[in-house]
Each structure stands twice: as C-alpha cells, then as structure tokens.
Amino acid sequence: MSREAAIATNRFGLGARPGEIESAAGNPRRWLLEQLEGRPATPAQFKGFPTTADHIQNYYYRYGVVSPDLKVLEDAAAASKTQAEIDKHATSRKGLLGGYVAWVREQLMLERAARTNVALTTPQPFRERMVRFWSNHLVVPVIKQPTAVLAGPYEREVIRPHTTGKFADMLLASARNPGMTYFLDNHLSAGPNSAYGQRHKIGLNENLGREILELHTLGVDGGYTQADVIALSKGITGWAFWPNAGRPENRDPKNAGRTPGAFNYFDEWHEPGPIVLMGKSYGQSGVAQGEAMLHDVARHPATARFLAGKLAAHFIGDDPPRAVVKRLAAVYLAHDTDLAEVCRALVEAPEAWAAAQSKLKQPEDYVLSGMRSLNLTLADNVVPAPSMYRFPGYRPPPASAGAPYSLAYDAAASMGQKPMGAPGPQGWYDRWADWSSADSLLKRVEWSLATATAHADRVEDPVRYLDQTLGGLASQDLRDSVKRAATKDQAIGLVLASPDFQRR
Amino acid sequence: MLLSRRSTLTGISAAALLAAGAPRMAFSAAPTDQRLVFIFLRGGVDGLSLVPAYGEPSFKAIRGPLADGDPGEGTIFDALKLDGMFALNPDLKAMHAMYQAGEMTVLHATCSGYRDRSHFDAQDTMDRGMVDKTLKTGWINRTLTTLPGQLKTGRDNYAMGLGPNLPLSLRGAEQVGSWSPPKQAQASPDTLERLAALYRRDTQLGPVLAKGLSTEQLGSSMSGMDMTGQGAGSAREFTEFAKAAATFLKAPDGPRLVTIDYGNWDSHADQNGRNNPNDPRVGNFAGRFPEFYLGLDRGINSLKTGLGPEVWAKTVVVLVTEFGRTVRINGTRGTDHGTGGAALLLGGAVKGGRVIADWPGLEDADLLDGRDLKPTTDVRALLKGVLREHMGVGDKALDETIFPDSRAIRPLEGLVRA
C-alpha cells in the first residue's frame, strides 16, 4: 500500500473514498497535478442555483415591495380598535416575515447541502480543497444579513473561476462582489469630500479597506499603516452595487440604465483627487484608482510571503519550514500571482510529503473525510425556482430534504465549525490548538461511533475498509485493533475515531 | 452518543486508562474557594457605548447620533447614571443594579499594550497577556501553573473554557477542560476502552481525550441546549453559556475558573439601530447591538442567580474586549477600530460601586492619533489586581510568569472585599 498515495488523498485531498488510494498509487504527484488542469467548471450540484444578481434583486424586492406592505399592516394594527383587528394584522405581518425567514433558512440548507455533495463526490478533491482554502481566505461567511444567502454564489462567481488562475484577479473580483461589499460595509462608505458625502454628511467606513490589507493581501505585519488603511478605503469608495436596498437613489431615473444586481461604480460617492497608498501616489480617476491599488498590493512581496505562509501552514504544518514558504512566495511573484503555479510548487515540495499526519483536520473536513470513506452523500434536494423569491407565496422543499443534511452540518457544528459560518473576516483559524479542545475531540468520537453504527452495512470487510481509507498511514496499533474488534461497526468506529484519522 | 458519567465510571476511568491529569481524590476543603469568571467580548466593544462619558461637555457633539438619550432630557441615561461623569449602557439594567449594590467596578480608558487596531492581533495580545508574539501560551494557563497544587486537587478541571474550542488564553502547559452541550446517545464502555488504548500512545491527542472524558461527567446533566461554534455568537447563546458556567462553578468538585467568549461586537455600522417599526428593514436583521447588550445583561443576571448568594459572594467576573472604537462616529452610523475602551468587574466579592479612570478627555487634542480614546491604564493592572487580591497570586508570578516583563504595570488595589 503506497504511503504517498495515502498522503495525496488525505493531506492534499478531502480524505480517500473507496478506490481513490488505488487511483493515486501509480503516480501520486501526477494524480494531484492533473486535477488542476482544464478550465474550471461549476459543479453540476449547483445547477439552477441563484446568482448574486438574483439575490440582490430579490433583496431589493424585499425592501421595495414587502416593506411597504409591512408598514401598511403595522399602521392598520396601530389604528385598530379591537383586539381581533390587531390580531388579524399581526398575523398577516407574521406571515410576511415568516415566509422570508423560512426562505433564507431553506436557501442556506440547499447551498450547504450542495456544497457538501460537491466535496463528497468530486473527482478533483485537491482542487476542491483549494476552493475551500481561498473561500476561507477571502471569506464571506453566512453570519450577517443579507450576505448569508450571498455566500454560496460568491464562492461560485469569485473563488471557483480563479482557483487555478491569478490571485490578483480573484482579489479584484472579491472586492467588487456585492457579497463582500455587503459583508464589510463598503456599500455604505463614501469619500468625505465626495459629492454624496458632502451632501448627506456621511463619510468613510474603513472595514473593507482594512481587511483587504490585513487579511487578504499584505498581512498584519505587512508594513502598512493606519494612513494606508484610510487610503485604500478612499480608493474603493463608490464600489457598490445597484439597486442598493434602502437608498433613495434607487428610484432616481438616471440610475435606470444600470445593470441590476451586479457591481456598480458610483462616482459621486468616490473620494476625489490623488491618493497615496504605501508610498505611491494613485492619480487615476474613478474605478481605475482602486483597481490600480489592488493590482499593486496583490503583487507586493509582503502579500507573496503572507499567502505562501498561509498555504504552507494549511498543507504542511502549523510552522512550516521557512525554505518552502520562501520558494512558494518566489513562484507567486515570478508567475504574476498565478495560483496554479503555486499549487504545483506545493505538490513538488518534498517538505509536504515528509511531514505527514502533522495537521489536525478541521471539523468540517473531518466529517467530510468520514463520509467519503463510507461513500456517503446527502440526498439531492429540490433546487429553488426563481419564483420562490416572492416569498409571501414561498413553499419549502419536502421536509425529508433536511434529515441527511443534518448528518454533515450538525456534526461539524457540534465540533466547533459551522459550515460556511466562519466567525468573521479572518476566516477559520488553522492551527492544531484551534481545533484540539477536549470537548471538540469528544464530539468527534461521539460522531464517529454513531456514524459507524448507522452505516456499517456499507462496509464488507473492515480491514479492507481501513486499507482503502488510511492505507499506509494507518498505525500498527489501529490495524491490530480493527482486526480484533468485536463487531463491524465497532471496527469502523475505531477507524473514524482513531488519532490516525484525526490527522492529515 | 453521550460519553456519560455512567460509561466512564463503570467501564473505564479516563484518568487510569490514559494516565493523564491529576489522580482523582476525595474532595477536600481547599484553602481558597474563590470563583473567577473571565468573559471576553470579542469584536471590539465601543467603550463609550458600554460606559458613556455623558458628563463630558462635548460628548453629545462628538458622538452625534450615538449619544442618543443623553441626560437632561428625561431619558434612560439618567436612570443608569454611575456618577457625575459616567453612565451605563441603557440596556444593562440588572448590571446597573449590581453597581448600585456595590458589586460592580468600571475601569475606563483601558487597553492592552496593543495599538495597531487589528481585531485578531489585539485579541491574541489580550489572550497572551502580552504584546510579544513569540509566547504561544495564554495568561490564564500560565496563571494555573503558578497556583498551589492543592487548589486543583480533587477536581478534574480547575479551569474550563465554555464552547467547543479553547481560546488562546487557556492554552499552554496545563491541560484545561472545555465543554459544550452533548449531542448524541450512549457509547459502549467496551468501545471506549478500545479507543482509549489507541489514544494512549498519542502524546498530542491522548491527554486531550482524557480531559474530555472527565469533563463529560459534569456536563452530562446539562444536555438539550442548542449552541455551537466559537463560544457564544449571539445573545441567546451567551445566556445559555452563563447558566452552564453557574452550574459548573457551583459543583463541589467543579472548576473554579471559567472563561466565556461572547463575540460579534464589531459595530462598524448602525450601532444604535433598534428593531423599530419605522425601520424599513424586515425582521431581526437590523440593530443587533442593542440585542447584544440585552443579552449581556441577561447572561450576567443568570450567572448571579444560578450561583446563588453564597457562591456569588466568592465570585469575581471580569469582562474585557480587545480594543475600544473610534470616539467619533464613522460615515455609517457606527464606529471603526480604536484603542481605549472599558472593562468591568462584577460579583459579590467585588468592592464595587465606582468608576476607576485616569480620564484622558474627549477633545481633539486628548485623543490618540486624533481618533481613539487614549488608554491611560493598562488592562493588565486590573487583571493583576484581581489575581493578587482574589486568587492570592504573588507579585513575582504576576510580574514575570503570567504577564512577563510587566513589573512597571502595578496591580490596581482595593478591587475585592476584604
């Protein structure tokens, strides 16, 4: 049993499905690199899912159409003379609100289930790991409205197309995307000296500008100052979308020609004049100014170091050897931020193969790898039709759709990681100590034993199951323990719960 | 599958099987039975919303819409006054009552040694107890290494973090327990025994599993709560964690030091937004910050109620955040990352009813970098004072081990009732 094939599937992939270690065994490195070839395609599981533009338009509908209805109901309730009348209006209001809340919940469930199924079935698990890595790096989590429903399309539109492309392009797509804009408030930020800012006495919101420098590019030790945060924030003022829910100018006829739901630049929000960022003056006007800034920070040596260090820490070890970080950073700069080249350098790094089993799987990846080992997938759910955006008439998919989904979602959540729910713009932390609490480990053990009991019928021979799951990475202790197990489900439970399977 | 008291006591003893942690011994009276609760409000709480300096002549002018409800207009700030200068956020009514009962102290214009306005670095600095990044352990864990051994005798965990993941403050040489509600049904003792054998040789994960199995005995009575993630992320979760903390701290062999994380305080926009009927937004998506304050108040109140008068009298609760926020409102009715903010002490053991502040003022010239409340007291002075007076930690440990190179930062005195 090839140890390197097991490392390829486990450390670089999402955990081996039955037969995967055999497929990789011929040439584990080539097996990984072939996954990076070809144009990125949207996985079939997302067919028919809403786009960012669909959601922005829907959100606007909620403001523009449903809000006034609510106001009417509330006014009517206030003017009511009898309790019966008050109750009647309150019930209708509850229906309107409840329809939307139910719709958001179902939408998130469908997004998470589809994304989980992609990870469970993909023939390109290394590419999928990279998608998840970059989604976590330029994260739009589901922790804020309305970015909750924008997180799914964000990954499809911003991350997937650029996973083996240029980081500079991914960064620009991210900063222009309404999901990111909403999440880090840039649609609210106006240049203090812009026409709109002066007229309405509003100004800058530094949130996105700061996180681009601190978390997306240079890193907190990347040498920028508070003045640079303000400079970049000013450079991207006016980067928003249309319609922008809640803004009066949505009804301004001069905005009628804009593309609804997409990135839109609002010049009257943009800070006028040249801006100095990291010692360089940017004299462009309009959207070109911010684009030029992002073009440069993406190619900054500090960005190369930061991204290389984060990738190496994710795939090799919490404190990766300096040489490999330096090499990855050099490749990144030499190839004009090309991520496919960086991936190639990572796969070809001897360090990545030498330090096997030194990382603790994060909870979601742990659950995914357990399900993959048993060839489990979630039931396919009904894809929402566009008409369901009219949420007063919304009817949820059949109730049965939720049950299998909980196997993956609730499990990872109980171990401390809600899928797509990173706690903030920093994404999920990635060190051993971030995921190795006693409680989290106990939840992993509990889930393993319960999952093994529920799905033991999928395994014929536990020793073969161990070989197909961990291959050459299984310790002699675990091998003996599986051979001596009292029952099949005990054997499978021991594999899933074992220290060997917690690591990669 | 719940790894319960029954399975661990009948089938295996975690400590015996895994040979990790202190041996279980009969509970004996400890020299001190004090309780300490450390609550980290993550995301950067706006200190001037938590404890508004309403007595500043320029407060209303500087804060704009965020000074909504200042005194002299018959508003809520009058009801929640602390003294002639400071008031308490209007949603913290139960905590205000504690202040009036002499059970709460405010430290204002405080911050860690960190000045660069990154959440994550600032939180790590607070958790490490120092700016220097080379140290990878937390100040609470280092505190544990300095406590006399008999304090820890007879209990599986002297300290415990609530939530599935341990915060950095608790990481280090001492094994610390963590807890979140159990989710599944019973595991067979035989399977657990075999599994424990597999973990015995794993020096990284073995001790962690042992800790988990021992903690589960205490937590098994508290199932049914629905919460997950990085500590509490919502008002509801925080209240549930506070209730669980009370249960743990009350148990005779339970932990004596508990940490709770309560996150999402990053109020860049619409900081004062409430769910008012005129707000065009639908549902509960607007105005989560008032909700967060209400949740804080409910949680602290649940903790006090849950502990009961006898244990509450031995308790100090410390609330901190990683930094304050800009003094002036930003372009979007919120505040951006700043520096100085407020910290609170609560509990029956607190000698309270006062605001400690070397107040820097709010005029332009008073502000740090022209934007932030200038920190005048290092938050370590508060933490050191609590550890010294409440937990009996010595100066040498405080200055060198727990907060290295901090001799110049003197502990605040008179924080705890004699």
**Does A255 have pLDDT greater than 80?**
no
Does the beta carbon of A150 lie under 8 angstroms from any beta carbon of chain B?
A: no
- Are the CB atoms for A224 and A213 separated by under 8 Å? yes
Listed residue (B138, B124, B163, B141) closest to A435, CA to CA: B163
Residue B244 lies in a domain: yes
Residues A146-196: tens digit of each pLDDT: 788 899 999 999 999 999 999 999 999 999 999 999 899 999 899 999 999
The per-residue pLDDT of chain A, averaged, comes to: 89
Q: B369, A447: Cβ pair inside 8 Å?
A: no
Burial (CB < 10 A; 0-12, 13-18, 19+), residue A328, is: buried
Select, from the ranges A56-65, A322-331, B196-205, B226-235, the one with the highest average predicted confidence (pLDDT).
Answer: A322-331
Q: Out of B75-79, B204-208, B278-282, pick the least confident.
A: B278-282
Alpha-carbon distance A84 to A326, whole Å? 72
> Which of B115, B160, B191 is best to mutate for the A interface (most A CBs within 10 A)?
B191
Mean pLDDT confidence for B56-77: 66
Q: What is the largest CA-CA distance in chain A?
A: 80
- Residue-wise pLDDT tens digits, B227-269: 333 567 678 789 889 999 999 999 988 899 999 999 878 888 7
Tell me whether B134 touches chain A (CB under 8 Å). Answer: no
Q: Do the Cβ atoms of A115 and A419 come closer than 8 Å?
A: yes
In this structure, of A86-95, A438-447, B2-11, B335-344, the range with the lowest mean pLDDT score is: B2-11
- Pick the closest to residue B175 from B34, B391, B15, B17 (CA basis): B15
Residue B5: pLDDT band with limits 50, 70, 90: very low
User: How far is the C-alpha of A304 from the C-alpha of A164, rounded, in Å?
Assistant: 16
First to last CA, chain B: 47
Contact A145 B216 (CB under 8 A): no
Structure confidence at residue A503 (pLDDT): 97
The yes-or-no verdict on residue A102 having pLDDT over 80 is no
Residue A176 included in any domain: no
* Contact in structure between B313 and A182 (CB atoms under 8 Å): no
Domain extent, residue B362, equals: 5-17+35-402
- As a whole number of angstroms, the distance between CA B273 and CA B266 comes to 14
Is B416 domain-assigned? no
CB contact under 8 A, A446 and B183: yes
Look up the ipTM and state it.
0.79
* Interface touch A189/B331, C-beta < 8 Å: yes
Whole-number pLDDT of residue A390: 54
- Of the candidates A355, A438, A329, which has an alpha carbon nearest to the alpha carbon of residue B164? A438
Kindly tell me if the per-residue pLDDT of B378 is higher than 80. yes
Whole-number pLDDT of residue B21: 31
Positive or negative: CA dihedral A249, A255, A256, A262: negative
Q: Which residue in this structure is represented by tokens 């409680």?
A: A439
User: Quick check: is A440 in a domain?
Assistant: yes
Nearest CB neighbour to A438, from listed B118, B191, B211: B211
What pTM did the predictor assign? 0.75
A392 shares contact with chain B (CB less than 8 Å): no
* Mean predicted lDDT score pLDDT of chain B: 80
Residues B159-193 pLDDT 10s: 999 877 788 999 998 888 888 765 554 567 778 88
Q: Which residues of chain A have a CB within 8 Å of the CB of B119? A: 424, 426
- Which residue would you say has higher pLDDT here, A134 or A398? A134
| Predicted local distance difference test score (pLDDT) of residue B229 | 38
- CA distance, residue B369 to nearest chain A CA (Å): 10
Residue A69, Cα to own-chain centre: how many angstroms?
35
- Do B77 and B52 meet the contact criterion of CB atoms below 8 Å apart? yes
Tell which residue, A281, A426, A235, A466, has the closest CA to residue B121. Answer: A426
pLDDT, tens only, A112-155: 888 999 999 999 999 999 999 999 999 999 988 778 889 999 99
Count of domains for chain B: 1
* pLDDT-derived band at A310, boundaries 50, 70, 90: very high
pLDDT confidence band for B218 (50 / 70 / 90): very low
Inform me whether the pLDDT recorded for B290 exceeds 90: no
Does residue A359 carry a pLDDT above 90? yes
Which residues, in sequence order, are CB contacts of B333 under 8 Å at separation 6+? Answer: B65, B66, B269, B270, B271, B272, B273
Tell me whether residues B336 and A432 touch, CB distance under 8 A.
no
User: What number is the average pLDDT over the span A471-491?
Assistant: 92
Give CA–CA dist B313/A70, Å, rounded: 49
What confidence score (pLDDT) does residue A65 get?
Answer: 63
Residue A497 at interface with chain B, using a CB cutoff of 8 Å: yes
- Residue B414: inside a domain, yes or no? no
Give B399 or B153, the one with higher predicted confidence: B399
| Residue B57 Rama label (left phi>0; alpha psi -120 to 50; beta) | alpha
Return residues 256-285 of B near A (CB < 8 Å).
Answer: 263-264, 266, 268-269, 277, 280-283, 285
CB contact under 8 A, A438 and B202: no
Distance to chain B for A58, nearest Cα, Å: 13
Total domains, chain A = 1
Q: How confident is the model at residue B391 (pLDDT cuts 50, 70, 90)?
A: very high
A22 in reach of chain B (CB within 8 A): no
The DSSP element (H or E) to which A469 belongs, if any, is helix A462-469
Give the domain CATH number at B39.
Answer: 3.40.720
B224 touches chain A (CB under 8 A): no
pLDDT > 70: percent of chain A: 90
Instruction: Average the pLDDT over each of B55-64, B176-185, B351-360 and give the range with the smallest value.
Output: B176-185
Q: Comparing B75 with A296, which gets the higher pLDDT? A: A296
Q: What percent of chain B has pLDDT over 70?
A: 79
- Which of A197-206, A211-220, A295-304 is predicted least confidently? A197-206
A194-202 — which CB contacts under 8 Å span 24+ positions? Answer: A194/A237, A194/A238, A194/A268, A194/A269, A194/A270, A194/A271, A194/A272, A195/A268, A196/A266, A196/A268, A196/A269, A197/A269, A197/A271, A197/B331, A202/B331, A202/B332
* Token digits of residue A16: 């081996």
Mean pLDDT value of segment B360-370: 92
Please give the biggest Cα pair distance in chain B. 71
> Structural domain of residue A410, as residue ranges?
363-379+403-502
Chain A neighbours among B 308-337 (CB < 8 Å)?
Answer: 330-332, 334, 336-337
